[in-house]
């Protein structure tokens, strides 16, 4: 895969981010509510762009992943399957760490891949939840990263 760049998302990124979301959502975690239509996914992406700090990873002008932060919480991290295992998610997390003294993230406990990713990037487990605080009622885990 050619080199990729991380940059702030702009409104013109809504369609390609939507395509990443539609491709990944449900595949990565069946517990997440499905976005059934392009319009539904587009609306979700537009709302996320308006209310979060969003960055995209681009390869040759194509969006292959994105992260969305709300304050110090990594709310969303999506990487298109064609770019997985190539450092895109790692670059998005490392970019998110810049300018923050701490970050926190929630993952579903059943996602071994997400848990391992958190540990590789210096996050530590601080809480195991039963999922009762969100609509999926899926057991989750909360991780913190702090700058040293």
Sketch out the chain's domains with CATH numbers. 4-146 (3.40.630.30)
Query: Does the pLDDT of residue 1 top 60, yes or no?
Result: no
Query: Does the pLDDT of residue 79 top 70, yes or no?
Result: yes
Name the average pLDDT for the chain: 88
19: left (phi over 0), alpha (psi -120 to 50) or beta: alpha
Residues 6 or more apart in contact with residue 33 via CB below 8 angstroms: 135, 136
Query: Does the pLDDT of residue 42 top 70, yes or no?
Result: yes
7-11, 57-61, 97-101, 137-141: the lowest-pLDDT one: 137-141
pLDDT of residue 33: 64
Distance CA 50, CA 76 (A): 14
What SS3 class is residue 60? coil
| Six token digits for residue 125 | 């487990």
Q: Pick the residue with more confidence: 3 or 49? A: 49
| Six token digits for residue 133 | 């605080």
Give the alpha-carbon dihedral of 92, 114, 84, 121, to 10 degrees.
Answer: 40
pLDDT (mean) for 84-97: 93
Query: Does the pLDDT of residue 101 top 90, yes or no?
Result: yes
Give the Cβ contact number of residue 92 at 10 Å.
Answer: 23
pLDDT of residue 125: 93
pLDDT of residue 136: 62
| Six token digits for residue 56 | 């995209």
Residues of the chain with pLDDT > 70, as a percent, come to 89
pLDDT band, very low/low/confident/very high, at 105 (cuts 50, 70, 90): very high
């Amino acid at each position: 895969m050619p080199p990729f760049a991380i940059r702030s998302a702009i409104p013109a990124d809504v369609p390609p981010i939507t395509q990443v979301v539609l491709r990944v959502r449900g595949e990565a975690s069946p517990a997440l509510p499905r976005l059934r239509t392009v319009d539904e996914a587009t609306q979700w992406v537009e709302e996320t762009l308006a209310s979060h700090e969003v960055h995209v990873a681009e390869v040759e002008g194509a969006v292959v992943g994105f992260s969305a932060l709300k304050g110090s919480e990594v709310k969303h991290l999506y990487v298109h399957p064609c770019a997985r295992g190539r450092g895109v998610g790692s670059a998005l997390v490392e970019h998110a760490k810049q300018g923050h003294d701490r970050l926190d993230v929630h993952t579903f406990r059943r996602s071994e891949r997400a848990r391992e990713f958190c540990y590789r990037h210096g996050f530590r487990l601080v809480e195991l939840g039963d999922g009762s605080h969100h609509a999926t009622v899926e057991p989750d885990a909360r991780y913190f990263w702090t700058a040293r």
